[in-house]
């Protein structure tokens, strides 16, 4: 089966925050939980999503929007899980805002979904500046990137609700101090939930999946 590819248009709305609030209100009315997933290129967004989908797809009806500047490699990987998937091409844009996310949701179709993942463009800077209208945001930081990233890219760690520290399996091969990393994250965002995982091996994934499962239940109970 071919991947559905949607070429996203640049937004014309000046007030992104208003668009984002309206989106969240609509999602609440519909009982749909949208999660914005952000990270550097190659931190493991897609692998983490595949494992999260496998753990939750019996519980919730899931949809995925894969945003990339080009290619459909991630959407193909996600499609193998059997959930509804769409590839968003940003036409060179380095992030998604609320209006671009809305175009994606329209393309995906919101009938019959409880939980939608937005895999944002791999970029630790720009996506943090734009509220996508998602209910919550998660940032993935992988061990090979280094424990100092919250010092250099403050906004990403300030705006996210959860930080997943991924690729814990390769910790022995890198100069990465987990305690220092968590302290750096907490300095930027004391309220952030921090979970160490290895999406590949499954380490730590239960805590993360439980967090998300609880979130979706709570959101749907309010709607």
CA distances from 113 to 50, 107, 120 (A): 17, 13, 19
For residues 174 and 211, which CB has a smaller minimum distance to a second copy in the complex? 174
Q: What track of x and - describes contact with a second copy for positions 7 through 36 (by CB under 8 A)? A: ------------------------------
CA distance 98 to 153: 22
Q: What track of x and - describes contact with a second copy for positions 121 through 140 (by CB under 8 A)? A: xxxxxx--x-----------
Q: Considering CB under 8 A, how many residues would be counted as binding a second copy?
A: 34
What tokens were used for 34?
Answer: 């949208």
* Binding segment toward a second copy, per CB under 8 A, in 3-11, 68-76, 107-115, 205-213: 68-76
What tokens were used for 99?
Answer: 């209006």
Nearby residues of 29 by Cβ (< 8 Å), 6 or more positions away:
223
For residues 68 and 161, which CB has a smaller minimum distance to a second copy in the complex? 68
Nearby residues of 144 by Cβ (< 8 Å), 6 or more positions away:
167, 170, 174, 176
Quote the Cα angle for 141-205-197, to 5°. Answer: 30
Asked if residue 167 binds a second copy (CB under 8 A), the reply is yes
Q: How far is the CB of 50 from a second copy (least distance, A)?
A: 13
Chain residues in the site for a second copy (CB under 8 A): 40-42, 68-71, 73-74, 92, 94, 121-126, 129, 142, 144-146, 148-149, 151-155, 167, 169-170, 173-174
């Amino acid at each position: 089966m071919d991947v559905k590819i949607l070429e996203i248009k640049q937004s014309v709305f000046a007030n992104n925050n208003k668009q984002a609030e309206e989106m969240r209100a609509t999602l609440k009315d519909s009982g749909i939980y949208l999660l914005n997933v952000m990270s550097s290129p190659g931190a493991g967004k897609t692998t983490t999503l595949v494992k999260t989908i496998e753990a939750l797809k019996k519980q919730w009806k899931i949809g995925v929007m894969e945003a990339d500047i080009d290619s459909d490699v991630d959407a193909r990987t996600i499609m193998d899980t059997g959930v509804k998937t769409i590839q968003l091409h940003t036409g060179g844009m380095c992030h998604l805002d609320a209006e671009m996310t809305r175009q994606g949701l329209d393309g995906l179709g919101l009938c019959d979904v409880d939980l939608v993942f937005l895999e944002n463009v791999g970029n630790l800077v720009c996506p943090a500046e734009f509220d996508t209208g998602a209910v919550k945001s998660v940032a993935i930081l992988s061990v090979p990137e280094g424990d100092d990233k919250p010092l250099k890219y403050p906004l990403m760690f300030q705006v996210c609700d959860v930080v997943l520290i991924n690729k814990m399996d390769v910790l022995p091969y890198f100069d990465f101090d987990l305690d220092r990393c968590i302290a750096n994250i907490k300095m930027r965002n004391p309220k952030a939930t921090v979970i160490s995982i290895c999406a590949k091996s499954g380490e730590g994934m239960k805590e993360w999946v439980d967090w998300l499962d609880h979130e979706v239940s709570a959101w749907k109970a309010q709607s």
